[in-house]
Structure 1
């Protein structure tokens, strides 16, 4: 701006008063504690329901070298293909090998629920192949296959690529948690 433009601008703006900044309120510690307690209650209720569902799940045994796979009806084919082909970053890992069926069930419920609560979207679960179990090959793999469909936040799963464990592991895609869904709605509402 030239000197005369600057003077003209200042003359035009002479009667303008600055806007007052609204005070921004932040949640109190009581509100944060109440929200935290709510999520803990929801989590323990969900874990109890999952325990019941997994304990009564019908297990159809698979072979050690079988693929295990599941796609929920709402999951887009392209997203499922990308999961299957390991195109997404693995954000979490759960190691179930070496655990009894009950230990593996408890660990899967706790850790997968925790992943969902923390908004982790892709988890690699290592269940092993189970070839060494002469009595019931692929026992843990078969249970994991039967269990995962009972998690309300599991959108899909598929046997992992060789470099991630192949037949002894599975990629699991989790839905966004409620906080992430709400944040997403707020972002899109502002557009």
Structure 2
């Protein structure tokens, strides 16, 4: 006995589909559904800005980690566009200090705030040369005078400082620094 196979298209399933279509009647095809919105593109990664920030941080850390000044060391710095002769004249005390800030008896946090405020006020007033008295650090716990190192680091970071040098002996010597400020 052999099983009888229906030819394709004549099976009971096709009869059911035809019956369904005749029961429903004519149909209208729906318009295609719009595609779902695409997921938002990821924000661009600012690699260059991040690299620049990392470079700036490493340079800042290098400056902080650079050898600290000791009691007898002289402070000296000049911007690239300031002639060396200006620094020599500053070292000899040929520029008159128009304002003065004494940081004696200030802790590091107070000294930093005082120095920032003093330099801003001096620049706003159009002062060209100031003297900052930081002391020699003879009473500090270590050989490194903390106020002297703080003044050195802060002055090197400021764009409005053109040059600075430890004052001559008659104006405070190793316990003071003369600073030339940029014009407003």
Structure 1 residue 169 corresponds to structure 2 residue 176: yes
2:99 is matched with 92
TM-score normalised over the length of structure 2: 0.63
- Tell me the number of residue pairs that the alignment of Structure 1 and Structure 2 aligns: 123
Unaligned runs of 5+ in 2: 1-59
Match of 1:69 among 76, 82, 94: 76
Matches within 5 A, 1:12-161: 58=64, 60-135=67-142, 137-161=144-168
Whether the aligned pair in 2 keeps the contact of 1:96 and 1:127 (CA below 8 Å) is yes
Q: CA deviation at 1:78?
A: 1.9
Residue matched to 1:42: none
The answer on whether the counterparts of 2:71 and 2:143 sit within 8 Å (CA) in structure 1 is no
Give, in whole Å, the separation in 1 of the partners of 2:101 and 2:145.
17
SS in 2 for 1:112: helix
**Which 5+ residue runs of structure 1 have no aligned equivalent?**
1-54, 178-191
Displacement of 1:90 in angstroms is 1.0
Q: Deviations over 1:116-138 (max 9, x none)?
A: 11110000000001021124531
CA RMSD in angstroms, aligned pairs only: 1.7
Question: 2:128 & 2:171 partners in 1: Cα distance?
Answer: 17
Query: Is the 8 Å Cα contact of residues 131 and 137 (structure 1) preserved in structure 2?
Result: no
**TM-score computed with the length of structure 1 as normaliser:** 0.61
Q: Aligned partners of 2:86 and 2:146: how far apart in 1? A: 29
User: Which structure shows the bigger proportion of residues in helix conformation?
Assistant: 1
1:48 is aligned to none
Moved over 4 A (4+): none
Q: Which moved more, 1:80-89 or 1:165-174?
A: 80-89
SS at match of 2:86: helix
Matches of 1:58 and 1:78, distance apart in 2: 28
Q: Secondary structure at the match of 1:104?
A: helix
